[in-house]
Structure 1
Amino acid sequence: MPLHLPPAVDLREVGLRDGLQLEAPLPTATKLEILDAVVATGVRRVEVTSFVSPTAVPALADAEQVVAELGRWPGVAFSALVAGFGGARRAVAAGLPHLEYVVSASDGHSRANARRTSDEAVAATRDIAALAHDAGGRCEAIIAVAWDCPFDGPTPVARTVDVARRAVDLGADQLCLGDTIGSTVPGRVVELVDAVRDACPGVDVGVHLHNSRGAGLACVLAAVQVGVTSIDAAVGGLGGCPFAPGASGNIATEEVVHMLEGSGVRTGLDLDRVLAAAAVVERAVGHGLPSNLHRAGGAARPITPAG
């Protein structure tokens, strides 16, 4: 049976934010070296940092300093994640009006992540979207624990759909469904994507998947087969949520590029340069990366005969 795949997808690199937020803080200069290597891959969208409490996420305490240097890379669409109005105001003041506002579909994760209920977090979409729009930017609602919550268990499809619908009604320009703890599987991905699309016609719905339980790439393929073209990934497969027990690495950018380009889907990224960026990240963080492709040495590493 032939695969039904789009001709191209739009990958967003999230390694500078999600990839680094659980790591020991890196010097800003080192982050800019990583960013330079990431931009060299050809990626068009980069989630470059988050404006959250530096006490809660010390690895990203230099958000303003990073954003101040983004003029070095014209033509790249940079965005920042925020968890509330205060962070959104900081991002806009720093000169980055393109916001990703994270809201949790469950109360348990919302209280751990933002110290308020899910409904309270969704209600703030109106003010955050207005702030972004007034500054000439966009507001994307990232729905965390869209499939499962480490505190409350499986998230009902109807609950995630309701959060998505209300976020759009309050001004969100697009949506991204987050598998925060990497627990979903392809069938559930298709089910939720279809349900959210039905509830929010005409709104772009992307996916942010983790590979905690090994199904990340399969879930990407399932999403792409039903027409999802906005996909988050982190070079080297780094990442995880500090407020979600059991959350580990993102899907690796190089593995997504390898899979999709090999299947005839254009990503616009150069695989060799993505692997080079992964090597830069590995040196910076000082430990091995989760990416299988990075460890294998690339798509076509020659096998040396024994003996």
Structure 2
Amino acid sequence: MVCIPGISMGSRGRGIPSLGMGTAVYPFTGSETMKSAILHAIQLGYRHFDSAALYQSEEPLGETIKEAQRLGFIKSRDELFITSKLWCSDAHHERVLPALKKTLQNLQLEYLDLYLIHWPVSLKPGEFELPLKKEDLLPMDFKSVWESVEHCQKLGLTRFIGVSNFSCKKLELLVFAKIPPAVNQVEMNPLWHQKKLREFCKEKGIHITAYSPLGAKGTLWGTNRVMESEVLKEIAEARGKTIAQVCLRWVYEQGVSVLVKSFNNERLKENLEIFDWMLSQEELQKIDGISKKKGFPGLEFISEEGPYKSLDELWDGEIA
């Protein structure tokens, strides 16, 4: 079993493991393959697992946590860091607490370690789907939704609260927060560095967790560009590493935690082999020179009748 480094998030108990396992598979569904992979990951040493109401992975994750305890892979749920997310159709003041209670019921847990607002937009209550119906897009009442999320933490239903896919400007909309977001989970990889956002979050004491560190190839929102980068291929070959390991090591060296999704047992093991070596300054400079392009622009959230009429409005100029 590998001991994964963790990152402190203040004085509120355990921090967040540097490497975690994502569970988003499109089309969104749970499966025995997912449960088997999660169980193997726990056995290998993974302790951070990322879920969401949208992914339909909460129930299989919860069942697997129980199985891991039964088999003795972990002594208690407290050894794990479990993240889930509030979907847009529940991003309304009165729906947040019931949504989190439903998430905990699905996971068979008494508390989450981290609960995130999935996107800075609301939808008409009801469906959990992507692509979404553009006529259902609504502006989010950030103040009332965040107050409800804060209430969930005060009730002890989640240790930390945060957001996902928020730009610097969107984070500034939370200026009224009594409990500031602990985490902003965003797309980040060697082709999408998020330098401005990382600097802003560092100043504000907000931890960054990176999703799609390999470009999310093979998903609805993914791209092949990361894994097909000639620069990354050259670095990997020279180092005797995989391209995935180079990507994960690069993200780790930026001081953020990272989520990677794989249900392949060998790749799960390879993902853990990033902590005992470093990229050289020359390699970092080469990666810095790769053309930048966001993999998931979020076109699904753009509509002439919705709150965001352009990608620039959604990302506040951070798309280029």
Bin the TM-score by the shorter chain.
Answer: 0.5 to 0.7
Letter in 1 for 2:226: A
Q: What is the match of residue 102 of structure 1?
A: 117
Call closer, same or farther: CA 1:43–1:171 in 2, change over 3 Å: same
How far the C-alpha of 1:63 sits from its partner, in A, is: 6.6
Q: What is the match of residue 286 of structure 1?
A: none
Structure possessing the higher relative contact order (Cα contacts under 8 Å, 6 or more residues apart): 1
User: Identity of aligned pairs, percent?
Assistant: 8
Letter in 1 for 2:261: A
Distance 2:254 2:247 in 1: 11
Q: What is the match of residue 227 of structure 1?
A: 255
Q: Is the CA contact (8 Å cut-off) linking 1:67 and 1:95 kept in structure 2?
A: no
Q: Is the CA contact (8 Å cut-off) linking 2:104 and 2:111 kept in structure 1?
A: yes
Q: Is the CA contact (8 Å cut-off) linking 2:6 and 2:18 kept in structure 1?
A: no
Distance 2:264 2:178 in 1: 33
Deviations 1:220-244 (A, max 9, x none): 555444432x221223589xxxxxx
Distance 1:161 1:237 in 2: 35
Task: List alignment gaps of at least 5 residues for structure 1.
Answer: 1-6, 147-159, 239-251, 265-307
Task: List alignment gaps of at least 5 residues for structure 2.
Answer: 8-16, 91-95, 124-128, 216-222, 228-243, 280-320
Matches within 5 A, 1:184-203: 185-186=191-192, 188-198=193-203, 200=204, 202-203=205-206
Matches within 5 A, 1:138-287: 138-144=159-165, 160-167=167-174, 169=177, 171-179=179-187, 185-186=191-192, 188-198=193-203, 200=204, 202-210=205-213, 211=215, 212-215=223-226, 220-228=248-256, 230-236=257-263, 254=269, 256-263=271-278
Equivalent in 94, 101, 105 of residue 89 of structure 1? 101
Q: Is the CA contact (8 Å cut-off) linking 1:97 and 1:132 kept in structure 2?
A: no
Letter in 2 for 1:175: V
Q: What is the match of residue 53 of structure 2?
A: 51
Let me know the Cα RMSD of the aligned residues: 4.2
Call closer, same or farther: CA 1:206–1:165 in 2, change over 3 Å: farther
Q: How many equivalent residue pairs?
A: 216
Q: Greater helix percent: which structure?
A: 1
How far the C-alpha of 1:90 sits from its partner, in A, is: 1.0
Deviations 1:84-140 (A, max 9, x none): 324212124543421432332578999939954453367413212321331252233
Q: Is the CA contact (8 Å cut-off) linking 1:125 and 1:171 kept in structure 2?
A: no
